[in-house]
Structure 1
Amino acid sequence: MTVKVVVVDDHGAIRAGLRLILENAEGIEVVGEAGDGITAIRQVRALRPHVALMDVRMPGMDGITATRELVAEGQCDVLVLTTFDLDEYVYGALRAGAAGFLLKSVEAPRLIEAVKLVAAGEGVLAPQVTRKLITAFAQTRGESALSPTALHELTDRERDVLACLGTGLSNAQIATRLHIGETTVKTHVSRVLRKLNLRSRVQAAILAQENGLAHDERRGVGNRGAGPPDQQ
């Protein structure tokens, strides 16, 4: 599959640089560009890309607002790419439903990999951002935990998948860990997001961390054994 991307940044030189990097990568096609959030939404609606590579600070509508609208409409996945790792940007982007958050200092190979991962339904976070989130978990543990009722909405297998998301595993790694098919993993992830009213697997990972499920998964509590994929 060729991953179609819309590049969103208010600086033309940066858009040109990102286009050059992405179009030189196998399996990626830049189908459009935008210099602000409103134009980005218009471009995405018209061009139907798999991924919007989204800046945060732009004139008019900012990237976080645009991300929230695109995700709410189910238009595409959003990978936020910004110069700043400020808490308000990190948390704002993830609350808006961004599938990933990278800094513009990222190396070209990592950026290419991240675009492909997001298009495949994975989540991507810059190491600097991951450390911020871990610190935030330690400071706010229990303050925003899911209610028991919400967790009870999940089946045992969906809890297993949520726990794996909390440790940062990809779909392929979850499939291996739980001895189920990768397609089945994608189905479970979709159900977890729907039942918990979440917009992205990154949000699911945060909730898994906040509720201690990731810790349980590391100890092996999440792995309930295996059966054929069609029985999971």
Structure 2
Amino acid sequence: MTIKILIADDDSLIRESLKIILGMDEEIEIVDAVDNGLKALEVCISFEVDVALLDVRMPVLNGVDAAKEILKKTKTKPLILTTFDEDEYIMGAIKNGAKGYILKNNSPEKIKDAIKMVYSGNTVLQDVVMEKVKDGLSSSREGNFNKDMFSEREMDIIEAISEGLSNKGIAGKLYISEGTVKNYITSILNKTGLEHRTQIAIYYIKGNR
């Protein structure tokens, strides 16, 4: 297994450091390293990229908007690399469907693990980022979790999503097809008015604290 990744960061030191450190992993192949979101999008369109590691604050096109366009136009999975002071970007990334949200102060090993988890179909949301996201979810719809809204099977799906399982992982755990999982997720999104599976996890975890 070789994971083809793109690095996008306007800080040349971080960009080159990630390129060197991540490139030492035998399971990772660096397709390119660029300095803005538009270039990241262009690379993902032109080449086969499994995971795009995106900084949020970049010129021309920021990481959040780049993630949205990458998801819309390619099969690449965006993984946001963020810092503590960017709550509004994190919220935007969730809305746009990014597959992971990790902090730059993580060790190289944790960043590698996050890349591999996203590649495998899981969602990665670091604890401290989760706390910031929950603090930002102020609407009553997202703040109050009502189990009575959902069937027993829907609750099983919600709990599995909150554990970070992919649709395939949920299907395996519950002995149902991936198509059935997708149907349940659609039903849950319709009932809650949420837009993405990551929001379901946050909605559930926040409401059960």
Change beyond 3 A, Cα 1:44–1:191: farther
Structure 2: how far apart are the matches of 1:26 and 1:187?
Answer: 34
Structure 2: how far apart are the matches of 1:5 and 1:191?
Answer: 31
Partner of 1:202: 198
Superposed displacement of residue 57, structure 1: 0.7
Q: Does 1:161 align with 2:142?
A: no
Unmatched runs of 5 consecutive residues or more in structure 2: none
Superposed displacement of residue 194, structure 1: 5.2
Partner of 1:66: 66
Partner of 2:51: 51
Corresponding residue SS for 2:141: coil
CA contact 1:165–1:208 (8 Å) conserved in 2: no
Corresponding residue SS for 1:122: coil
Partner of 2:87: 87
Superposed displacement of residue 27, structure 1: 1.1
Amino acid at match of 2:160: C
Amino acid at match of 1:140: S
Partner of 1:225: none
Change beyond 3 A, Cα 1:24–1:208: same
Structure 2: how far apart are the matches of 1:89 and 1:113?
Answer: 22
Partner of 2:141: 142
Structure 1: how far apart are the matches of 2:195 and 2:5?
Answer: 20
Superposed displacement of residue 85, structure 1: 3.9
Q: TM-score, normalised by structure 1?
A: 0.73
Structure 1: how far apart are the matches of 2:9 and 2:50?
Answer: 17
Q: TM-score, normalised by structure 2?
A: 0.80
CA contact 2:7–2:52 (8 Å) conserved in 1: yes
Equivalent residue pairs, number: 203
Structure 1: how far apart are the matches of 2:98 and 2:195?
Answer: 8
Superposed displacement of residue 140, structure 1: 3.0
Partner of 2:32: 32
Partner of 1:170: 165
Superposed displacement of residue 11, structure 1: 2.0
Superposed displacement of residue 145, structure 1: 7.7
Change beyond 3 A, Cα 1:188–1:6: farther
Task: Decide which moves more: 190-199 or 82-91.
Answer: 190-199
Change beyond 3 A, Cα 1:67–1:205: same
Change beyond 3 A, Cα 1:135–1:144: closer
CA contact 1:53–1:81 (8 Å) conserved in 2: yes
Unmatched runs of 5 consecutive residues or more in structure 1: 219-232
Superposed displacement of residue 157, structure 1: 3.7
Partner deviation per Cα, 1:102-139 (whole Å, 9 max, x = no partner): 111111111000000001111111221111233345x4
Partner of 1:224: none
Corresponding residue SS for 1:142: helix
Change beyond 3 A, Cα 1:66–1:9: same
CA contact 1:99–1:200 (8 Å) conserved in 2: no
Q: Identical aligned pairs, as a percentage?
A: 33
